[in-house]
Structure 1
Amino acid sequence: MALTPELRTQAKWKEIAGIPLGAATVDNWNQIQAFRAKPDDLLICTYPKSGTTWIQEIVDMIEQNGDVEKCQRDVIEHRHPFIEWARPPHPDYPGTHYVDQAGLELTEVSNEMPSPRILKTHLSTQLLPPSFWTSNCKFLYVARNAKDCMVSYYHFYRMNQVLPDPGTWDEYFETFISGKVYWGSWFDHVRGWWEIRDRYQILFLFYEDMKRDPKREIQKVMQFMGKNLDEAVLDRIVQETSFERMKENPMTNRSTVPKSLLDQSISPFMRKGTVGDWKNHFTVAQNEKFDEIYRQKMKGTSINFCMEL
């Protein structure tokens, strides 16, 4: 049974360093910060709704040498531990336990994983557990243009029964630009990772480049992972990780998650996967306001986004 609008409005979140996170995550913050990274870890890093599931499936396909059956071994959310995700237990879905209860991705699961481990986070650079910086592991960051990211996150908020109700598009627009969404400000997140990209082993990719030329971007990931796969395998990975294929794949489309957590009758988890959908949501006034805020927040940075293909 889904949460009532009243309960969703009161959905529990707290802040760490001014960044909103789930209450259960904050309650387990010391354990999360104590996470022990390994030198051969690969950490997939994204701001929410920036192609996280897509890059996870690409990485897994590369790691499994293009073996589709091996990538069907479990749902995507169980293949790569989400280092900060913790929420209260849900009776219908045992994967939603707190971090320190009965199984947690951070401890038992990740410790039992064979190396190289592939992990996932939405944390900004300032909140990442310190061991990731000192272990010299690899980071794979995917950035998506802020306008499409905002739209996608809005529809995710609508269908995700664990997150607060986003209200109307106009209300949510203000919430997003003020950074009062889970995992905080898009501007701070993307800028933070962009500015350290040359100081660590970071492969920084753009969602729009992945849409424009998936084969080229997948090749970059393959090389970054130290893999050498032949052309036929590469073509298979491109095909299997297309939006259309992943939308129909129960291992990636979240169809196994109960409706009481993700109500896909409101909006599908994999909704459009396009570039430029923001034009169907932004008013002229909102677009002008956003562009001005973007100029202020991203002033002095060399990052450049494609807004439509």
Structure 2
Amino acid sequence: MDLPRPEMFDFHGVHMTHYFTDNWEKVQNFKARPNDIVVATYPKSGTTWVSYILDLLHFRQTDAERENTVPLDERVPFLEFFMPSLYTPGTEMADMLSTTPRIIKTHLPVQFMPKSFWEQSCRIVYVARNAKDNVVSYFHFDCTEKIQPEPGDWKSFLQRFKDGKMVFGSWYDHVCGWWEKKQMYSNIHYMFFEDLVEDTGREIRGLCSFLGLSPSEDEREKIRGAVQFDVMKANPLTNLEDDTTLDFSISQFMRKGKVGDWKNHFTVAQNEQFDEHYKQMMKNATLQFRTEI
């Protein structure tokens, strides 16, 4: 499908495109329910991975047919996404979900979250990924995803990431904003992509504890197997193979899922400059990331 690349603009201090702001009033007035579960992430941080884990934890044993017939992006709608010519708006998809709980994903920075999620004390799973791997994944995604702004070359993209001129804003603001919110709001489970790669089973146990779930060890192990990267990549329902906005001749939606791929992209000079910039941006943060495991 031939789509014009959208332009970014400043939206209440955050760079956005119209695909995520055209339905703003309905997003902000969205009626959360107390048992809703939100997967919140900066783009390319493990959103699909954690969405799938949560979906399987809640519904695999009660509705196996759904798992094998319904694409994941319909099971876990993208709240703020609005492209009515091709897709049902995210707010409508969330309202139409028949599952309990509803699992809803968002890339919104914490200050943009609809207030009803806080008022209803909803549980939120936030997933963060180290900045170096995040920018590499985001670059490849923007080359593939035709409804993202023109990515330009790697060098200019990396500079734009450092400047926070990305769709959904600055990585630094996003991960730190949600981290600060976690200190005041106990219903946020803050996870790290690197921990998930290192020991998926351990992280699934942590999610079960947070969500009050108690699947058997055998069921947890089956879910751990089902959410391995290569298994999900081979599954058309999780690899979004029907998404006409993606150019699969450039890259798969699910590309590598590794920790440390940044080493294949950063030059020595870029890495040194990035480290210096990172140190300045994160000097007051208590948040710690790993760039290799």
Secondary structure in structure 2 of the residue aligned to 1:197: helix
Identity in percent = 43
User: Which runs of structure 2 are paired with 1:132-281 in the superposition (5 Å)?
Assistant: 132-200=117-185, 201-258=187-244, 261-281=245-265
Distance 1:28 1:147 in 2: 31
The residue aligned with 2:281 is: 297
For normalisation by structure 1, the TM-score amounts to: 0.90
Letter aligned with residue 35 of structure 1: F
Indicate whether 1:52 and 2:47 are aligned: yes
CA deviation map 1:65-115 (0-9, x unaligned): 4565432231111111211111251xxxx32xxxxxxx4331364255343
Check whether the contact 2:94–2:102 (CA below 8 A) recurs between aligned residues.
no
- Aligned pair count? 291
| Change beyond 3 A, Cα 1:114–1:68 | closer
Check whether the contact 1:22–1:87 (CA below 8 A) recurs between aligned residues.
no
Query: Post-superposition shift, 1:15?
Result: 2.9
For normalisation by structure 2, the TM-score amounts to: 0.94
The residue aligned with 1:98 is: none
Query: Post-superposition shift, 1:38?
Result: 1.5
| Change beyond 3 A, Cα 1:236–1:12 | same
Distance 1:256 1:52 in 2: 18
The residue aligned with 1:2 is: 2
Distance 1:24 1:210 in 2: 30
Distance 1:72 1:292 in 2: 47
- Match of residue 115, structure 2, among 124, 130, 136: 130
CA deviation map 1:42-65 (0-9, x unaligned): 110011000110001100110014
- Match of residue 82, structure 1, among 78, 82, 85: 78
Distance 2:64 2:260 in 1: 31
| Change beyond 3 A, Cα 1:140–1:116 | same
* RMSD over equivalenced CA pairs, Å: 1.6
Check whether the contact 2:79–2:94 (CA below 8 A) recurs between aligned residues.
no
Check whether the contact 1:147–1:278 (CA below 8 A) recurs between aligned residues.
yes
Check whether the contact 1:24–1:88 (CA below 8 A) recurs between aligned residues.
no
CA deviation map 1:116-141 (0-9, x unaligned): 21111000111111111221110001
Distance 1:268 1:226 in 2: 34
Check whether the contact 1:65–1:229 (CA below 8 A) recurs between aligned residues.
no
Query: Post-superposition shift, 1:295?
Result: 1.2
| Change beyond 3 A, Cα 1:61–1:108 | closer
Distance 1:25 1:84 in 2: 5
Comparing 38-47 with 292-301, greater Cα deviation is found at 292-301
Letter aligned with residue 64 of structure 1: F
Check whether the contact 1:23–1:87 (CA below 8 A) recurs between aligned residues.
no
The residue aligned with 2:66 is: 70
| Change beyond 3 A, Cα 1:68–1:196 | same
Comparing 266-275 with 196-205, greater Cα deviation is found at 196-205
Letter aligned with residue 89 of structure 2: L
| Unmatched tracts of structure 1, length 5 or more | 96-102
Secondary structure in structure 2 of the residue aligned to 1:173: helix
The residue aligned with 1:115 is: 100
Letter aligned with residue 15 of structure 2: P
Secondary structure in structure 2 of the residue aligned to 1:45: strand
Check whether the contact 2:124–2:189 (CA below 8 A) recurs between aligned residues.
yes
| Change beyond 3 A, Cα 1:225–1:151 | same
Check whether the contact 2:57–2:223 (CA below 8 A) recurs between aligned residues.
yes
Letter aligned with residue 77 of structure 1: D
